[in-house]
Structures are given as C-alpha cells and as structure tokens.
C-alpha cells in the first residue's frame, strides 16, 4: 500500500485559482488553433447548424444514439418555443452492436426504427428524421459526416472514416424502411443547445456531462476556416468543440492508470477527468492504492452516494465500501474515502468551469450580454455537488459578472434538439 499521505494526494487533485486562469488561457488558445485548422487537441468541428429561431414547426422523428442506450422519439414542434408531448421508445445496445461489425450496429438501429414506426402508425408517409450521433464526426454538411474515432468505450468495426448517415440509410433500405428522410445529423451537445434555445434566445452553449463530456457553442462564421457555402442566414454556426479530448491538463499517476486501462489510451484526457464513465475509476484507483486495496467496481454512482452521506458515522459510506469488497472500515478510512471522492469530483467540476469560462470570453470578452448554458447528463443532474461546484468555479473567474451566466438543466435535449435541427434543415431544403 502506498505511503503517500492522503492530504498530499488531495492537494495534487486541487485546481487553484491561478491554475483555473491558466486553463482558461490554454483552452482559448486550443480553440483558436482548432478553428484555424492548426494542430490542436480540440477538433472544433463545424456542425452546419445554427441556433433555432423558435418558429420551427411540424412533426419529426428523432433518433438519439450516444451510449449503450438509444432512444427514438416522434414529436410535434408547435412554434413559439412550444413542443407537444413526444412518443418515446428506448433500447439497449449489446456488446455485439458496440464492438461488432458496422452492420450489426446499424441494422439493429434500423430494425428498432421500423418497430417504432409501426407501433406509432408512422410507416408509409414521408417523415424527416433528426439523427443525434454523439461521437466525433467530421461533418461536411448538415446531414453528412464521417466518424473520426470512437469514444466512450465503443469500438464497432468498419465505421471510422465512413459517413454515418449513409450507413444508417443503407441499413434502413436493407430493413425495408423507405419513408425516412434524414435531414440532419448532430452531436448531443448541439441537440441540447437547440432544445434550450428553442425557448430561450440567450442560450448559446450546449454541454453534456454524462457517460462522456463535450460542449458546443455559437461562433461567428468568419472565425471558422474552411467553411464556404454554409447557408447560414445568421452569420453564425454552432461548433462542436469535442472538449473531451483537451489534453493541456496536469495528470496524476491515478489519471495515467485509468488512461492506460481504457479502450483509447492517450485520447479524451479531459473526458477521463470529468465524465461519469471515468470519475469512479479515478477515485477507485486512489482508494485502492492508498487505503483500501480490496476495493473493485467503484463507479461514479457510488461516488454520488458517498458524497451525499450526511450521517455522523458515515455509515452509508461504510455500506457502499462493504458492497465493493471492503468488509470492515474505520471511521477514519470512511472519512478519507469521502475526501478523495470530493477531491476527484470537484476537480472535474472546476475543469468544466474553466473551459466554460474560456468559451464565454471567446464569444463575449467583456461578458456584456447574458448567456444561458444548456446542460444535460447524469453527472450534472445527479451528482450532489457537481453543478454547484461549476457555478462556484465561474464565480471565482468572473466575480459579479458570473450572474450574467445561467446554467440550465436541459433534460432529454439531445432528442428534442434533433427534431428541432431536422425541422430547421428541412425548411432550408424546401
Ligand atoms: C464523447 C463524444 C462526444 C459527445 C460526448 C457526450 O465525448 O466524443 O461527441 O458529445 O461524449 O456524449
């Protein structure tokens, strides 16, 4: 067992005020490099989507794929920011789809789309579909783009480098569905931004902090290199930052261990310090190497339970530890485990705050307008202090002006936003 005092480890995980400012600078410079086409850990992908007007209307189908569960929705956009109650079906991908061949994945999705259409009486007439595909895709138009790499543990073969809209279209044809027109493909962050800004015109940033993490924001067209005929009337375009890959961060040996064990070592460094797939793994690595070696299978959900423990003797923490192989624990051990969890999660939240600070300053250097940030994802929604720590981080950076920045939980935005983006794209096409 390692003899490094816990206090020292907790200090190494801390992000000081000056480190926050360094992160803001470094994130800004990576954003600029990515936008100009220079080498950068930030892909800064033009999405060919802009903020909705709130006046998009009609019935649309949305397919939301970004993790092991995917959802299909049909919903009516009523204009003036109003949305009808959607019909929703959820499905779970198996290992065969996540890590098998391309046809396994897309044929499965197409067959479930067919089931959804038939259950909801939607086979036959033509429908526009918005396809949320939450992985790094190099878009060349609103409904075309090639997968750059897999993230979040996905590894289906034969998809990298291919147009995912074409793969879905071909699978739909194989399965006999001929009435869907995929009018938009988008990232979940873009869907989240679209869903919130359908109602709130100040919303110009979309964020996901769930299994993975990422953000998008609205950028002036002239700042984006390589974009010609964008068709954007607003003079702006949403950029999918793919911030999960930001790598100008100080890594501890625990981060290095988690990275080495992952399916994509060396990639998605920020994601591995912030998102739900990894926070628990980092905490486990610290706990296992310092105070409780038998511990196995520690997840971000366990962290949330421990960090919500307000009992005097930390008995809930003891129960979590017990369920993970640590039969007995002293109060001292339980308190140390709690401190480690807090240090790991608050580091994640402070990294998010620094990156958000950089994005806001990029759009509005004096913070002279109001900004709404739409956020979705289980970590943001369910962790007891993550949201609060992001706000505190922004306050530390912006002082009083932080009150001009509103953070809004935008539940299921990635599905609803797909319908809105599909509507905007199909209007442009008509
Ligand atoms: C991963 C994906 C990214 C997505 C994020 C949240 O980082 O690469 O595209 O937005 O997860 O789901």
For residue 131, the CA-to-ligand 1 centroid distance in Å is 14
Architecture of domain 1-43+200-411: 3-Layer(aba) Sandwich (3.40)
Q: What is the pLDDT of residue 172?
A: 97
Cα–Cα dist 292/144, whole Å: 49
Contact (CB, 8 A) for 290 and 4? yes
For residue 162, the CA-to-ligand 1 centroid distance in Å is 18
Cα–Cα dist 311/264, whole Å: 39
Catalytic residue among 43, 64, 107, 152: 152
Tell me the pLDDT tens digit for each residue of 6-20: 999 999 999 999 999
CA distances from 369 to 189, 240, 360 (A): 22, 22, 10
Tell me the pLDDT tens digit for each residue of 303-348: 999 999 999 999 999 999 999 999 999 999 999 999 999 999 999 9
Residue with the smallest CA separation from ligand 1 atom 8 is 135
Q: What is the pLDDT of residue 428?
A: 64
Residue with the smallest CA separation from ligand 1 atom 4 is 134
Q: What is the pLDDT of residue 231?
A: 58
Q: What is the pLDDT of residue 415?
A: 94
CATH of domain 48-186: 3.30.420.40
- Ligand 1 pocket member 64 (CB < 6 A): no
- Ligand 1 pocket member 130 (CB < 6 A): no
Residue 39 has pLDDT above 70, yes or no: yes
Q: What is the pLDDT of residue 362?
A: 98
Q: What is the pLDDT of residue 212?
A: 97
Tell me the pLDDT tens digit for each residue of 50-65: 999 999 999 999 999 9
Residue 429 has pLDDT above 70, yes or no: no
Confidence tier at 227 by pLDDT (50, 70, 90)? confident
What average pLDDT is seen over the chain? 95
Q: What is the pLDDT of residue 233?
A: 74
Residue 228 has pLDDT above 70, yes or no: no
- Of residues 226 and 92, more confidently modeled: 92
Q: Where exactly are the structural domains of the chain?
A: 1-43+200-411, 48-186
Q: Is 395 a catalytic residue?
A: no
Residue with the smallest CA separation from ligand 1 atom 2 is 135
Q: Is 152 a catalytic residue?
A: yes
Kindly report whether the global pTM for this prediction surpasses the value 0.85.
yes
Angle of helix 331-363 relative to helix 300-307, nearest 10 degrees?
110
| Residue keyed to tokens 């994005």 | 359
Tell me the pLDDT tens digit for each residue of 260-289: 999 999 999 999 999 999 999 999 999 999
Q: Measuring CA to CA, which residue among 40, 243, 277, 242 is closest to residue 135?
A: 242
Q: What is the pLDDT of residue 405?
A: 98
Q: What is the pLDDT of residue 10?
A: 96
Task: Provide the b/e sequence for 134-166 (b: ≥16 CB within 10 Å).
Answer: bbbbebebbbbbbbbbbbbebebeebeeebbbe
Cα–Cα dist 311/317, whole Å: 9
Residue 229 has pLDDT above 70, yes or no: no
Q: What is the pLDDT of residue 168?
A: 97
DSSP 92-113: E--HHHHHSBHHHHHHHHHHHH
- Of residues 395 and 4, more confidently modeled: 395
Q: Measuring CA to CA, which residue among 344, 197, 347 is closest to residue 284?
A: 344
For residue 108, the CA-to-ligand 1 centroid distance in Å is 21
Q: What is the pLDDT of residue 61?
A: 97
Residue 430 has pLDDT above 60, yes or no: no
Across residues 287-305, what is the average pLDDT?
Answer: 93
For residue 150, the CA-to-ligand 1 centroid distance in Å is 9
Tell me the pLDDT tens digit for each residue of 143-201: 999 999 999 999 999 999 999 999 999 999 999 999 999 999 999 999 999 999 999 99
């Amino acid at each position: 067992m390692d003899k490094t005092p816990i206090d020292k480890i907790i200090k190494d995980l801390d992000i000081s005020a000056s480190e926050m400012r360094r992160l803001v600078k470094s994130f800004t410079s990576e954003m600029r490099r990515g936008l100009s086409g220079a080498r950068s850990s930030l892909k800064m992908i033009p999405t060919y989507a802009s903020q909705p007007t709130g006046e998009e209307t009609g019935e649309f189908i949305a397919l939301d794929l970004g993790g092991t569960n995917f959802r299909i929705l049909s919903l009516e956009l009523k204009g003036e920011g109003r949305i009808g109650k959607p019909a929703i079906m959820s499905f779970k991908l198996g290992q065969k789809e996540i890590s098998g061949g391309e046809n396994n994945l897309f044929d499965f999705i197409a067959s479930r789309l067919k089931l959804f259409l038939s259950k909801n009486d939607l086979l036959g007439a033509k429908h526009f579909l918005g396809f949320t595909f939450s992985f790094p895709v190099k878009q060349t138009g609103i409904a075309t783009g090639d997968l750059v790499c897999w993230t979040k543990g996905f590894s289906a073969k034969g998809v990298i480098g291919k147009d995912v809209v074409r793969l879905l279209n071909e699978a739909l044809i194989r399965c006999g569905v001929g009435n869907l027109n995929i009018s938009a493909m988008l990232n979940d962050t873009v869907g989240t931004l679209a869903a919130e800004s359908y109602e709130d015109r100040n919303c110009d940033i979309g964020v996901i902090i769930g299994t993975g993490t990422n953000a998008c924001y609205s950028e002036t067209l002239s700042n984006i290199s390589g974009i010609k005929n964008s068709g954007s009337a607003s003079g702006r375009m949403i950029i999918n930052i793919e911030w999960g890959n930001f790598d100008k961060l100080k890594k501890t040996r625990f981060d290095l261990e988690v990275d080495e064990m992952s399916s994509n070592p060396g990639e998605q460094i920020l994601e591995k310090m912030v998102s739900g797939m990894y926070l628990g793994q980092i905490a486990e690595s610290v706990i296992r190497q310092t105070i409780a070696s038998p511990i196995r299978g520690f997840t971000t959900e366990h962290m949330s339970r421990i960090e919500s423990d307000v009992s005097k003797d930390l008995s809930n923490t003891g129960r979590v530890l017990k369920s993970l192989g640590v039969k007995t624990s002293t109060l001292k051990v339980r308190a140390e485990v709690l401190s480690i969890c807090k240090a790991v999660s608050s580091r994640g939240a402070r990294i998010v705050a620094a990156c958000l600070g950089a994005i806001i300053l990029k759009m509005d250097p004096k913070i002279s307008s109001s900004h709404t940030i739409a956020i979705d994802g289980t970590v943001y929604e369910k962790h007891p202090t993550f949201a609060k720590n992001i706000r505190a981080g922004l306050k530390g950076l912006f002082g009083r002006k932080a009150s001009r920045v509103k953070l809004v939980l935008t539940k299921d935005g990635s599905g609803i936003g797909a319908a809105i983006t599909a509507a905007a794209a199909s209007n442009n096409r008509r």
